[in-house]
Structure 1
Amino acid sequence: MFIATTVTADLNADKQALLSFAVAVPHGRKLNWSSDTPICSLWVGIRCSPDHSRVIGLRLPAVGLLGPIPANTLGKLDALQVLMIRSNGLNANIPPDVLALPSLRSLFLQHNNLSGEIPNLITPSLAFFDLSYNSFTGEIPLEVKNLTQLTALYLQNNSLSGPIPDLKLPKLKRLNLSFNNLSGTIPLSLQKFPKESFLGNSLLCGQPLKQCPGIPSPSPLPSQPYHKKSFWKRSSSKIIIGVAVGGFAVILLVIVVLLLCILRRKGREDRESSTKGKGTAGSRSEKSKEEYSSGVQESEKNKLVFFEGCSYNFDLEDLLRASAECFSAAWFSS
């Protein structure tokens, strides 16, 4: 009974705070907020927790809200996580209790006519912070450095002035401070963002914008070894592959040339041996012919010729005897 009463009291407190806001702020389109209807199921732009114990979301974009945000209205929604009242006609200052809501994670107040300085009391749970396209003045609060959960900061198209705090926020991914009156040097922690995040601030300098006057430009020499190192690191494997392929091609070419030379030399030797064989055979045949013919001629010389009509027959002994007699006769006659 006590728990149910406490939950109802908290929800009723949220309901009364929203009704006070609707009464104090004129709006072009009538909201269907009423004390007689269930807030979690029928009210426009309201989102409750799963157990319907608290209001955790308020989304009223472009509903024609006019005038300032009254204090002690939205600032009483201490369970509120998302507040979206963008693209309306809200003006004047933001009540400090709105930015100090302990559970607030996303704040969308862009495209209004809010002015004055941004309150210093900002809940550390804030992750999305958008005050762009308003008329805020003064400096960016130093308390922004304490928003360790912040992922997006949009303050463009205002009239903010002074230096930019050194926002060393580990989760910050999106930043836009363009078209203000900011001055000085862009902090080192924010130089990673593109120049579009800082355009329209004529007194702002430093990376990624123009170099600040009186500060020497960094020498490009230290960056050269890094580029060379990265170049060789990227190209070393390609160079090794190219050298290996080129060396293999040269070795293959040398082998082919050697094979061609050997084959050519062998072919020449075969032709020469064939020619010598033919010449030897021819000379041998010619020589045999000459020897044969000369033998025939010698035999023809030593052959006795008998004339026709001679009837003498001589044998070897007759010839030898005749030769001896002729020799003896010749001796004695001398």
Structure 2
Amino acid sequence: MALSHCLVLLCFLVFLPFGKPDLASEKAALLAFQAAVGEYLRWNQSSPTPCTWQGIKCESNSVTVIRLPGSALVGQIPTGIFGNLTHLRTLSLRFNVLSGQLPSDLAACTDLRNLYLHRNQFTGEIPNFLFGLNKLVRLNLAQNNFSGQISSDFNNITRLGTLYLENNELTGSIPDLPQLQNLVQFNVSYNHLNGSIPSRLRKMSADAFLGNSLCGGPLLACPGEASSPTGSNNGGDSGKSKLSGGAIAGIAIGSVVGFLLILLILFFLCRKKSSGKTRAVDIAPAKQGSEVEMPSEKRENGSFSSSAVPYTATATAATTAVGAAPKGDINGNGNKKLLFFGNAARVFDLEDLLRASAEVLGKGTFGTAYKAVLEMGTIVAVKRLKDVTISEREFREKIEIVGSMDHESLVPLRAYYYSKDEKLLVYDYMPMGSLSALLHGNRGAGRSPLNWETRSGIALGAARGIEYLHARGSNISHGNIKSSNILLTKSYDARVSDFGLAHLVGPTSTPNRVGGYRAPEVTDARKVSQKADVYSFGVLLLELLTGKPPTHALMNEDGVDLPRWVQSVVREEWTTEVFDLELLRYQNVEEEMVQLLQLAIDCCAQYPDKRPSIVEVTRRIEELRRTSVGEEEDPQPDLVDELNDGSSRRLGQPPPSFLE
């Protein structure tokens, strides 16, 4: 009995100290990491535990999460650090300036599930030890300088659901990855890859493979794939079949080209004969699949084509052309002309509009928008509506209501044109484009960060415009709130556009048109309540705060929309992980950012009666703006700091209502 007691005591003495020494060794490893690459990390070395440090999370007396995005980490990570952090499940070092090869002792982190290293300067081949981390679910190595080939050993990571390798220096072909049955997010674009895309990956979008010399699947077919061989037993006949198929294709293409040339000649003969007496607008899409450019040119009859507008497989554009229409369609009777609203200046007519030079601004839910520069120098925006199925009388009644809406936060509708074949709307031109382009365009070097004052001002202006619409009647809503419909003046004042157009189009064009913004209860996109507008506006606020487009597949979750992703991050992680890195520069407005985040989450409540009214939304934005605007100073960039209240409270410890 005494012997057994001695054995128990011996085991107690041997194993008891291992709790603290383990955490102590992890703390020492993190301090070595700080000394090597984390000069700007504000970790309190005197703290008995690293679990309260910025970006560190512990469970069961071990460090399990390291999240240091945009933390000004610079240099090479030495070997010998991660070997002491073997319980890591998530490692996020994205958006830093880390370089060199990945430390080999990362192989010891066999519990690792999420590894985010994108937007750094790591070099060398993708190390083989990564293929031993078979619990990995998400791996993001994008936008580094990794070289060499993509190994087929990725098949060893059978749980992998996300694999991002884009914007590196990878070469060779893409291996077949049959073991990655859970892979739903994949991108190898803008490397130096070649060859055929494996059949397993051909279900991915074309964007996943752009910028390489690849073929097959969502891209152009590989040589020989278009024709079907007759069988392996008759190789000669198979070759003849392929040659015959190519000849037939050549003849067909030649016939089509010849036919189009004849039509083109007849078209110009008819145009010349008409001597410019007939005009109408015909806006045709540019040919897809290759980049084309249509230079601006005046034609003999004074009509226009678009200024140079490039079109690629990843960018939407179009060109404009002028076709013939019966003279009566323009001015043959009293109602076939450009009709203006209210006191709008009538400095041009339909003839002037059709003679204007134009360029495509973008294709939207209801049609294509153009920038039209009139001969007298006036610039307007023209939207050519598509899928208008209602009668002319109903169209005129509804568009008159839209034209009567007048508020400084709305893009005013100045005039419209209606004929059987064309429906045109004329708006004031907004020179700074849309909020979507401002947020998501040109995120590279030379971009001016979009600061808190500008973003909160845009949010307030948009809220006021929507509030005005809702005040016009309980049954009046916008119905299509999204960042591409928030346009900006030269002073970055927000103007809401596309209001009132949802009732003009047919049902075939409306499903899923506001994907990512649409409230869960909306089944008919032509019938959107005011509370559904509030939901869409809440998503817009999240877009402003996170910098993430809600229609894009998010890196951190598989198939999860923006509101749910934000809520999951707020529940489980640091709230700073949510905010756009450009906003993290402005450390003295953290409280206001969190308040706006809270408001956005309230707007995105699952049930309509839980959402605030747009009046309350506007009031709350006005209040937080009053406490923040004018207090910003030039901050140190790329630093993520704790609140300056002297406590250990983190942004990741949100108000209770975040957790409901």
Counterpart-to-counterpart distance in 1, 2:47 and 2:26:
14
Correspondent of 1:44 among 33, 54, 63:
54
- State the match for 1:57 in structure 2: 65
SS in 2 for 1:13: helix
Pair 1:19-2:45 in alignment: no
Counterpart-to-counterpart distance in 1, 2:30 and 2:153:
28
Pair 1:171-2:170 in alignment: no
- Residues 81 and 179 from structure 1, CA distance in 2 versus in 1: closer, same or farther, beyond 3 angstroms? same
- Residues 102 and 41 from structure 1, CA distance in 2 versus in 1: closer, same or farther, beyond 3 angstroms? closer
Asked if 2 retains the 8 angstrom alpha-carbon contact of 1:138 and 1:160, the reply is yes
- Residues 91 and 41 from structure 1, CA distance in 2 versus in 1: closer, same or farther, beyond 3 angstroms? closer
Give runs of aligned pairs for residues 164-313 of structure 1, distance below 5 A. Answer: 164-168=174-178, 169-201=180-212, 203-217=213-227
Counterpart-to-counterpart distance in 2, 1:213 and 1:75:
48
- Residues 120 and 181 from structure 1, CA distance in 2 versus in 1: closer, same or farther, beyond 3 angstroms? same
Counterpart-to-counterpart distance in 1, 2:66 and 2:49:
12
Counterpart-to-counterpart distance in 2, 1:97 and 1:77:
10
Deviation at 1:141, TM superposition (A): 2.3
Deviation at 1:11, TM superposition (A): 1.1
- State the match for 2:154 in structure 1: 144
Pair 1:118-2:119 in alignment: no
Counterpart-to-counterpart distance in 2, 1:92 and 1:125:
25
Correspondent of 2:97 among 86, 89, 94:
89
Counterpart-to-counterpart distance in 2, 1:172 and 1:127:
9
Asked if 2 retains the 8 angstrom alpha-carbon contact of 1:161 and 1:183, the reply is yes
- Residues 143 and 22 from structure 1, CA distance in 2 versus in 1: closer, same or farther, beyond 3 angstroms? same
Deviation at 1:97, TM superposition (A): 2.1
- State the match for 1:292 in structure 2: none
TM normalised by structure 1 equals 0.61
SS in 1 for 2:169: coil
CA displacement, residues 265-314 of structure 1 (integer Å, 9 cap, x when unaligned): xxxxxxxxxxxxxxxxxxxxxxxxxxxxxxxxxxxxxxxxxxxxxxxxxx
Counterpart-to-counterpart distance in 2, 1:80 and 1:20:
17
C-alpha RMSD of matched pairs (Å) = 1.7
- State the match for 1:105 in structure 2: 113
Asked if 1 retains the 8 angstrom alpha-carbon contact of 2:24 and 2:49, the reply is no
Deviation at 1:125, TM superposition (A): 0.8
- Residues 163 and 100 from structure 1, CA distance in 2 versus in 1: closer, same or farther, beyond 3 angstroms? farther
CA displacement, residues 86-116 of structure 1 (integer Å, 9 cap, x when unaligned): 1111011111222552111100101111111
SS in 2 for 1:61: coil
Aligned length: 214
Deviation at 1:215, TM superposition (A): 3.4
Q: Which runs of 5+ in 1 are unaligned?
A: 220-334
Asked if 2 retains the 8 angstrom alpha-carbon contact of 1:150 and 1:172, the reply is yes
Runs of 4+ deviating beyond 4 Å: none
- State the match for 1:153 in structure 2: 163
- Residues 96 and 143 from structure 1, CA distance in 2 versus in 1: closer, same or farther, beyond 3 angstroms? farther
TM normalised by structure 2 equals 0.31
Asked if 2 retains the 8 angstrom alpha-carbon contact of 1:107 and 1:130, the reply is yes
Q: Which has the higher helix share?
A: 1
Asked if 2 retains the 8 angstrom alpha-carbon contact of 1:19 and 1:33, the reply is no
SS in 1 for 2:115: strand
Asked if 2 retains the 8 angstrom alpha-carbon contact of 1:119 and 1:141, the reply is no
- Identity over aligned pairs, percent: 40
Asked if 2 retains the 8 angstrom alpha-carbon contact of 1:94 and 1:114, the reply is yes
CA displacement, residues 126-174 of structure 1 (integer Å, 9 cap, x when unaligned): 1100000111110112221111110100011111111111112111111
- State the match for 2:259 in structure 1: none
Which range moves more in the overlay, 181-190 or 93-102?
Answer: 93-102
Asked if 2 retains the 8 angstrom alpha-carbon contact of 1:100 and 1:121, the reply is no
Deviation at 1:176, TM superposition (A): 0.8
Counterpart of 2:94, as a letter, is R
Asked if 2 retains the 8 angstrom alpha-carbon contact of 1:126 and 1:149, the reply is yes
SS in 1 for 2:127: coil
Counterpart-to-counterpart distance in 2, 1:10 and 1:218:
63
Counterpart-to-counterpart distance in 1, 2:44 and 2:82:
15
Counterpart of 2:21, as a letter, is A
- State the match for 1:71 in structure 2: 79
Asked if 1 retains the 8 angstrom alpha-carbon contact of 2:34 and 2:41, the reply is no
Counterpart of 2:174, as a letter, is I
- State the match for 2:88 in structure 1: 80
